[in-house]
Amino acid sequence: MKKIVVTTKKEDMDKVAKIFGNRFFTSEVKGECAVITSYIPDNELDETIKKLDDVVDFRFKDSLIEVSSPFFVKSSVLERIEKREGVKGKLPVEKLLESVKIYTSVDFGKVILAGIAGFIAMMGLFMNNVALVIGAMLLSPILGPIYAFAINLAVGDAKDSMKSILNLLVMIFFVIAVSIISTFILSGFMEIRKTPEIITRLSANPVYILIAVLLGFASILALSKGVSESIAGIAVAVAILPPAVVFGICIIAFPWNFTAPLVLTLDNVIGLMIGSLLSVLVLDIGPRKYYEKSVAKKFIRRVFYVLVLLIAILTAISLYL
């Protein structure tokens, strides 16, 4: 439930009240201003703000739209509304942006967490232990930067979107570095063998690209509906973590095989990015103002073309391998 307080010219009070319709709202006139307060379900926030943008005259210096999340509200009217509508809709774009803000800069705590997840996955691959590999996926924080990339690009913030990708690359490089160093150390004490879990990541098939696109799409869709990041993140970790670790292993133990897991990792990263972009387009996540939407669509179109070109190149390499 969101609380919306609209301050506008008193001449526009009826227009604003009409937008809230049958919703619970109060209004009062203060001099030349009218203040309208209403409570609406989260899933109606985006649409309501768009309508308010059309009727509130922001040339008037006191015009203001304030949105907040009340800590506690007791109202039989609001309780009936929530009970009647029941189903949760998508999260408002402001909440999505707030949730991904932490992924626009490198968090060394999360980088180390990704490295630990990579080490656990590596041990699972060496021991052919699926449970350990899955456990590493649960621990991996790799989904966050991809999510941030898609959301920021959807609202036209190319700068933060690129920062998110940089954050993702730092995590992946650290996972690979941990895998290389650990394999080098362990190779002095034990024979490194190709277990079935490792062998499955030694072939790059174009089908994996399609799977990565679907995983990226489903993960962003789940997050936009309020599903826990740790649950949605498993899908992304499945695509990136094991092949990145196998690439690091191959650098030391099987240098003649390192190309396939590298291509597979790149396939999955780019596929996930394409899937995440498709998801934000389908969900209609983006800025509210027309000119901002135009800028955002231009950024998305350019990035999408680049990603498709990279996918075409990687597909050709995969077929060659």
Alpha-carbon span 146 to 237, nearest angstrom: 11
Show the low-confidence residues of the chain (pLDDT under 70): 71-94, 224, 226-235, 288-291, 321
Cα 17 to chain centroid, rounded: 35
Nearest to 46 by CA among 157, 154, 158: 154
CB 276 within 8 A of CB 216: yes
Q: Kindly report the pTM of this predicted structure.
A: 0.72
CB 279 within 8 A of CB 216: yes
Lookup: tokens for 93: 């774009």
Lookup: tokens for 223: 């997050």
31: left (phi over 0), alpha (psi -120 to 50) or beta: left
Residue 231 has a pLDDT of 63
Per-residue pLDDT tens over the stretch 143-172: 888 888 988 888 888 889 999 999 999 999
Residue 72 has a pLDDT of 63
Residue 47 has a pLDDT of 78
Q: Which residues pair with 295 in a beta bridge?
A: none
- In DSSP notation, 31-49 reads TTEEEEEEEE-GGGHHHHH
Tell me the domains of the chain and their CATH numbers. Answer: 2-85 (3.30.70.120), 93-320 (1.20.1080)
Residue 245 has a pLDDT of 94
* Main-chain dihedrals φ then ψ at residue 6, nearest 5 degrees: -110, 125
Per-residue pLDDT tens over the stretch 233-248: 666 777 788 999 999 9
Q: What is the amino acid identity at position 185?
A: I
